[in-house]
Structure 1
Amino acid sequence: MAGTGGPEGDGIMRRCLRGMALLYLCVKGPRLYRVYRQNGRPMALRGRSQEQEEPGVSWESFYQPRALEKHTDSILAWVSVLWTISYYSSPLAICYMFRKGYLTMSRMVPLGQYGLTLLFLLAGVVCLRGLGRWSNFQYIQFIYILEKTKIENNSDNKRILSSYNFDFSSWPVDFRWDETSSKNVKGTGPLGGVSLLKPDPRPRGAADSVLHKIQKLPCQITSYAVAHSFGRRMLYPGSVYLLQKALMPMLLQGQARLVEEYNGKRAKLLACDGNEIDTIFVDRRHLGDDKGSKLVICCEGNAGFYEIGCISTPLEAGYSVLGWNHPGFAGSTGVPFPQNEANAMDVVIQYALYRLGFTLEDIIVYAWSIGGFTATWATMAYPDLSGIILDASFDDLVPLALKVMPESWRGLVTRTVRKYLNLNNAEQLCRYQGPVLLIRRTKDEIITTTHPDDISSNRGNDLLIALLQHRYPKIMADEGRMVVREWLAASTPELEASVLSQYGVEDDWCLSVLQSYQSENSSLFPWIVGEDMSSDERRQMALYLAQRHLKNFEAMHCSPLPTSFFQIPWKL
């Protein structure tokens, strides 16, 4: 008997164990969405001849699941959606059940039994999905390279793994925030390259008495509840699971375009708060021109993703581009509170410096809408960045939050925003010494506080005024500020030209005055230029500076920015 078992029996046992291990990997493995293609062939097969490809296998751009995997995936997707809806509606459901008397022990026990039965059924569906994957050659190849990369995370394995688009939670980490803690880069943040937001110091005194703290406690609890429930989701709707689910086909298509057409390289970055940040990098340095040697880091809006966001503008303009998703958006984990946003931006810049090989002087930060917060934070924490471009951004969140909330909530809204959602773009931008370009949408319906046609209520105006007042306080005295406001209220190019003509702005004279001041004084802002000017000269200079820092784009808030408007910020 022992002789007949021998090596053949051992071989059968090993094959069975390998098959069971492979089935287990297919059960717990991530969902596979796509196999990227280049030059008509799957990127996963680069380096292999046509004869080496699996015979009878049709490689499509989208992963083709077998019937069993397809149907079980649909079931699990519907369960996920229903669970999300149940989660958000649970407070109302609990109130209803309480009023109907359903929250009793006699009624809760059967519900618990039904829930346990449902869990067993879902576990069975997951196992059936794994069985469907186990019979699919494409998935077997994918799970093999994924497990191999987890063991040996080298460039060759990562290159092959990047040929697949799958649930990003299973992607190995490419770069960690603490990889550079021992290095020192000019212009980095104060904590070894990690700059964190700091709360404003509060003076001690009677206001900090125990009684006062107790009196403020209900307000603080309410603000916390508002910020962490619907407040954060209203501010960043892109972090809502149901919206991401609806946008998934567009996100997959956009990502495929970046990888297949532009040879984009996806990477997972680990921030100091433990959040994983989803990024993509398009390298144009091999082209050998000035644009390709510049890196544009793109900061998306509150419902924007790098797959379909503002990244397309600098990409089409010919720059190297690094896009990233907010915490809680698509492949990034966490929630998009200001501190998490700052931590994410910090690790993105560190990745650009230490892994991609750019210098701070090569990097331009470009932001659209609410992305202005992380962009201005970056320039505050890394003052040697080459420049910043803010498109359709604002100075402060409070006026915009008050616009959409009831007047009776004014105190609650102001307190909640200041404590938990404080996007103070103007304050951060004024700490930056480098070139700045603001792009204002003349028909912006989002960041105006009155009517979209009232361009004078656009909060981009206040961002420009705050910047110029900080940098040129003498020029932006009363008459300078008033004339800039008048120019900003002009809703057409003809009206703008009329204002400039009225005050006789001479560009050559203004430029020569600024250059003369710069040659004789420190280049650090604020400048005291304009102290000995007449009122008319200050008006001329104020309008000249406003033109250099702000450009108008006749469009609504969400219109894509044409490449002709993407310009390097003005520098004296």
Structure 2
Amino acid sequence: MLKNQFFLFWQCIFGPKLYQTYPHIPPLPTRQPIHLYIRNTAETLSDNVFLVLKILLSTLRIICPLCILYFYYKGSLTYENGISFLQISSCIVIIPMYFMLLRGISRFINPTYKIFINEYFQVKYNPTQKARQKLLAKYDFSLSHWKPDYIIQSSTIRKLPMISISEDNLIKKTEVTLIERLFHYPSLLLGYICINVFGRRLMFPGSLQIIRHMTNRALLDGRTNLIVSYRAKRYLLRTADGNHIDTIFVNQCSTDNGQILIITCEGNAGFYEVGCMMTPIDAGYSVLGWNRPGFGESSGYPDTLSEINSIDAVMRYAIEELHFSVNNIVIFAWSIGGYSACWTAVHYQDIRGLILDAIFDDVLPLAQRQMPSFASKFVEKTIRYYLDLNNIQLLKLYNGPFYLIRRTYDEIMNFIPGKLATNRANEILFSILPYRYPFIYNNDETVTLLKQYICSKKIQKKTLFDKYCSDIDILQTLIDQYRLENPIGSYPCKFGKNFSFDERQRFAIYFVDQYLIDFDAQHCTSLPQCYFCLPHRCV
């Protein structure tokens, strides 16, 4: 008996953090929730201490290189100071050990946690899929101790190519003077440090401990809603680079739209619990959401390589384990999630299509806007080498259907607030439409008309549309005829090769509405269901 109690105490020390026990019915927002796990004072204090230590450790990792340089120039990096540092570090290590023991005691005397940890280890020692899902449907807890449901054995994606510009051209553009060429490698090293010290955190603020702490309750409520109201199932996937990705699947195969799977890709401070999943769920589609590395319960940290390894694992899980065919999968992305969506489209060309909401063309202009102008070349070089998020270049490699949702009052994507002509989605259409239909946009007049139409407000757009596209049926007939002769879409295409100038102008306007939907809202407004529809092949 004493041995069993000691073993239980040991499990309480090293067991996962418990968040809540899911209720049987969705809790009312007006009532005090009783399903949340109530920690006693000692456990709360211990968790707060660990949170502070995590923040301090993260801060130390940021300033550590600067501190080493400072002490080096001060001549303080001596053997005696090193011994003193080790002694201080040894004393500091005692702090987490003490609070781990304190937390274990507080959990041991908490009957709710004792019941949970007993069930948890029963499942851990007998990990059938049914038992695992039963536990995940009953308790919400930290997945740091949880074994993955799906593992990608081979590390297939090791290095990202530079997609925006060749390395030689980048060097010619950013290293004009002799001094800039001499400092090529030092600037790359400095750029690497900047990206890992603060750049990555600025680009993906949702990975910051303070943000995760502030959004904790909202994430718990979001998971409760998905699991209790929609019977969602959580899975943990291990990526090719070793990260564990927290995913959730809402199965609505019994509905008319449920045979189509929507995979969502969230923004840089978005989580599947409070992100864009609800729009396709309300529309009756099956939905698979995931949190990128460093977000929510996913391990690791976000960057371009971990991003594509994550979405690759999610796609493979959807195909191999959830048994959705590739041509029944649609990627729905919001904001910075557009990068992983576009990458997926390039490498899984047979997907049903892309829905891209409030995305940018290239992250470089957004990054340069946040930095002083004198650092423009350095920012460009750093972005291109380490965070080259260029959606235009990826979309040019994709032959399938997609459409953009442009938010007219987007305070992030509109470079000038309230001015639609400065929205970054415009740049995507300026590049992709002439690329896909070179015989339509083959002169300055049609390209100018394209830009005028895209940048116009509603009344002006309607006037232009009525002027050039008064008979849509004729235009659609020409499209249908071309598609009959060319059943497989491939771009650039030869559509419009023998058209007259007037016909090209009509299609220059008509194609815009096939690729663009305007939504009068700001960047973070939830997308209404009426704006969500499956993409279709235009030509």
Normalised to the residue count of structure 1, the TM-score between the two structures is 0.84
| Matched position secondary structure for 1:551 | strand
Give the whole-Å Cα distance in 1 for the aligned partners of 2:493 and 2:396. Answer: 13
Question: 1:159 — aligned with what?
Answer: 133
What displacement does 1:415 show? 0.8
Q: 1:199 to 1:88 in 2, by over 3 A?
A: closer
Residues 1:169 and 2:144 aligned together: yes
Which amino acid in 1 is paired with 2:350?
Answer: D
What displacement does 1:441 show? 0.7
1:254-293: CA deviations, max 9, x gaps? 1111111111111110111111111111111133x1x111
Residues 1:236 and 2:204 aligned together: yes
Give the whole-Å Cα distance in 1 for the aligned partners of 2:337 and 2:158. Answer: 18
Q: 1:514 to 1:252 in 2, by over 3 A?
A: same
Residues 1:305 and 2:279 aligned together: no
What displacement does 1:156 show? 2.8
Give yes or no for contact 2:26–2:228 (8 Å, CA) kept in 1.
no
1:545 to 498, 511, 518: 511
1:475 to 440, 449, 465: 440
Which amino acid in 2 is paired with 1:511?
Answer: Q
Give the whole-Å Cα distance in 2 for the aligned partners of 1:501 and 1:141. Answer: 68
Give the whole-Å Cα distance in 2 for the aligned partners of 1:349 and 1:442. Answer: 31
Residues 1:132 and 2:106 aligned together: yes
Question: 1:188 — aligned with what?
Answer: none
CA RMSD of aligned residues (A): 2.9
Residues 1:31 and 2:20 aligned together: no
What displacement does 1:75 show? 3.4
What displacement does 1:541 show? 0.7
Which amino acid in 1 is paired with 2:454?
Answer: L
Which amino acid in 2 is paired with 1:152?
Answer: N
1:522-554: CA deviations, max 9, x gaps? 533222121222222111111111111100001
Number of residue pairs matched by the alignment: 521
| Matched position secondary structure for 2:215 | helix
What displacement does 1:113 show? 4.1
Q: 1:178 to 1:168 in 2, by over 3 A?
A: same
What displacement does 1:16 show? 2.1
Question: 2:488 — aligned with what?
Answer: 523
Residues 1:198 and 2:136 aligned together: no
Question: 1:560 — aligned with what?
Answer: 526
Larger RCO, structure (CA 8 Å, separation 6 or more): 2
Which amino acid in 1 is paired with 2:420?
Answer: I
Which amino acid in 2 is paired with 1:407?
Answer: S
1:149-183: CA deviations, max 9, x gaps? 3322212320232021111211220011249x9xx
What displacement does 1:470 show? 2.1
How do 1:31-430 residues align onto structure 2 when only pairs under 5 Å count?
Answer: 31-39=17-25, 60-89=34-63, 112-162=86-136, 163-178=138-153, 197-199=160-162, 216-287=184-255, 289=256, 291-430=257-396
Give yes or no for contact 1:327–1:335 (8 Å, CA) kept in 2.
yes
In our comparison, the structure showing a higher alpha carbon Rg is 1
Which amino acid in 2 is paired with 1:153?
Answer: P
Give the whole-Å Cα distance in 2 for the aligned partners of 1:122 and 1:283. Answer: 42
| Matched position secondary structure for 2:245 | strand
What displacement does 1:116 show? 2.9
Normalised to the residue count of structure 2, the TM-score between the two structures is 0.89
Give the whole-Å Cα distance in 1 for the aligned partners of 2:378 and 2:206. Answer: 24
Give the whole-Å Cα distance in 2 for the aligned partners of 1:427 and 1:66. Answer: 53
Q: Percent identity?
A: 35
Q: 1:18 to 1:256 in 2, by over 3 A?
A: same
Give the whole-Å Cα distance in 2 for the aligned partners of 1:96 and 1:443. Answer: 46
1:9-57: CA deviations, max 9, x gaps? xxxxxx222222211111111111111111389xxxxxxxxxxxxxxxx
Question: 1:186 — aligned with what?
Answer: none
| Matched position secondary structure for 2:307 | helix
2:5 to 19, 22, 30: 19
Give yes or no for contact 1:292–1:319 (8 Å, CA) kept in 2.
yes
What displacement does 1:80 show? 3.4
What displacement does 1:89 show? 5.0
1:306-340: CA deviations, max 9, x gaps? 11111121122221111111111121122222121
Give the whole-Å Cα distance in 1 for the aligned partners of 2:321 and 2:486. Answer: 38
Give the whole-Å Cα distance in 1 for the aligned partners of 2:259 and 2:480. Answer: 28
1:489-543: CA deviations, max 9, x gaps? 112x212101212334421111111111222235332221212222221111111
1:341-391: CA deviations, max 9, x gaps? 111111100111111111111111000011000001111000110011000
Q: 1:520 to 1:90 in 2, by over 3 A?
A: closer
2:498 to 521, 529, 532: 532
Give yes or no for contact 1:296–1:363 (8 Å, CA) kept in 2.
yes
Give the whole-Å Cα distance in 1 for the aligned partners of 2:487 and 2:286. Answer: 33
